[in-house]
Structure 1
Amino acid sequence: MFSLINGLPAHALLVHGVVVLVPLAALLIVVAALWPAARRRLGLATPVLAVVALLSVPPAKEAGEWLERHVPSSPLVEEHAGRGDAVLPWVLGLAVVACATWVVGVAADRRRHDAGVEEPGPIVRVQALVARAVPGWAAGTAALAVAAVVAVAVSAGAVAAVYQAGDSGARAVWQGEVSTTSHGGDGD
């Protein structure tokens, strides 16, 4: 499905979405998990961004698998493919943690601050439904603390997986291709 875009390997273009969205989602998840006021302000943006980051991974992976079949095999390419395979589970975990953190936070906030207050608007109605659906033990301080610890761990793992895949991909493409001495050009 994904092969070339305007003559360039689609993988080289699609990975930019992963490289930007996953660390951004991870940052927002950690901020939302550790800072309740930020979580309230960010609202659904955090889980939505995490899901969009998750959705960016399969096209990049599929394009990478196509590219792997169209370049000479090497240990560096194999290492990159292996590290690339590790990204999807981490980003799936990131999306799950983002959604769970949002649910636990909404339930805790609604129970503590405005139980029974019904304001107009679809998001407020969704929050009220979430608050009613989550058991009391899952909206307490301990649940928020567990969510924060898990959010930090999974965010770090997802960012590390993306970094390692990207680093190994860059090495597969560029190792041995760049000289340490200048060949002229723009005055370097």
Structure 2
Amino acid sequence: MPETITGLPLHPLVVHFVVVLLPIASLGALLCAVWPAVRRRFGWLTVAAAAVATALVPVATMSGDNLKQGLGGGNPLIDRHEELASLMLWWALGLFVAVTALMLVHNAAQRRAATDTGFDEPGGGGGPVATETRRSTGLSVAMIVAALATVGLAVGTGVHIYRVGDAGARTVWEDVGKNLK
């Protein structure tokens, strides 16, 4: 993996993709979990954003390791940032899995709803009665579980990306502040 691109360290370049995509994926996942209209329209786009962000997290951490080696060790701010960043992949992966599961359950429920007629025919043979019936299925429970998992992981991922970014910004700007004085 290259350490620089046109003379700039790779780490901040890749990190900015993650810092943009992961909060978008988190917000999208949260909205998809609680708002069916958003889920229908933007659900798979949210899955794609979560997938790309998850794929970029290891690139960001590896490029961060390369940058740390180039700067030398012993900085507690860099160590804290690295410690927090090492957990980011698990949050991103969890969010990706949860929002993907939510969308798969959603699609299964949509297919099921399309095949159900929604009408009961009484035994008297008088023809269909316009009374909608709902079958209790495991899909309802699966949708609730997937939505709850998605909400929890979206919030957790959003909080964690903030913590990692804050630690990284403090590392850079506290160093810059020392040089400005």
TM-score if structure 1 supplies the norm length? 0.79
Residue 121 of structure 1 corresponds to none
Measured against aligned partners, the alpha-carbon deviations of 1:91-117 in whole angstroms (never above 9, x if no partner) come to 0001101110100111112212x1279
Determine whether 1:105 maps to 2:106: yes
**Count of aligned pairs:** 160
- 8 Å contact from structure 1 (residues 2, 62) kept in 2: no
CA distance in 1, matches of 2:116, 2:89: 40
CA distance in 2, matches of 1:43, 1:29: 8
Measured against aligned partners, the alpha-carbon deviations of 1:105-164 in whole angstroms (never above 9, x if no partner) come to 11112212x1279xxxxxxxxxxxxxxxxxx51x21x22222221111101111122111
Residue 172 of structure 1 corresponds to 171
- 8 Å contact from structure 1 (residues 94, 154) kept in 2: yes
Residue 13 of structure 1 corresponds to 13
Residue 143 of structure 2 corresponds to 144
Residue 79 of structure 2 corresponds to 78
CA distance in 2, matches of 1:147, 1:34: 11
Task: Kindly report structure 1 stretches of 4+ aligned residues shifted beyond 6 Å.
Answer: none
- Structure 2 segments unaligned to the other structure (5+ residues): 118-136
AA aligned opposite 2:14: L
Provide the aligned C-alpha RMSD in A. Answer: 2.0
Residue 120 of structure 2 corresponds to none
Shift in CA distance, 2/157, structure 1 to aligned 2, threshold 3 Å: farther
CA distance in 1, matches of 2:116, 2:65: 52
Residue 89 of structure 1 corresponds to 90
TM-score if structure 2 supplies the norm length? 0.82
Larger Rg, first or second structure (1 or 2): 2
- Structure 1 segments unaligned to the other structure (5+ residues): 118-135, 184-188
CA distance in 1, matches of 2:76, 2:15: 20
AA aligned opposite 1:67: L
Determine whether 1:39 maps to 2:39: yes
Query: Identical aligned pairs, as a percentage?
Result: 39
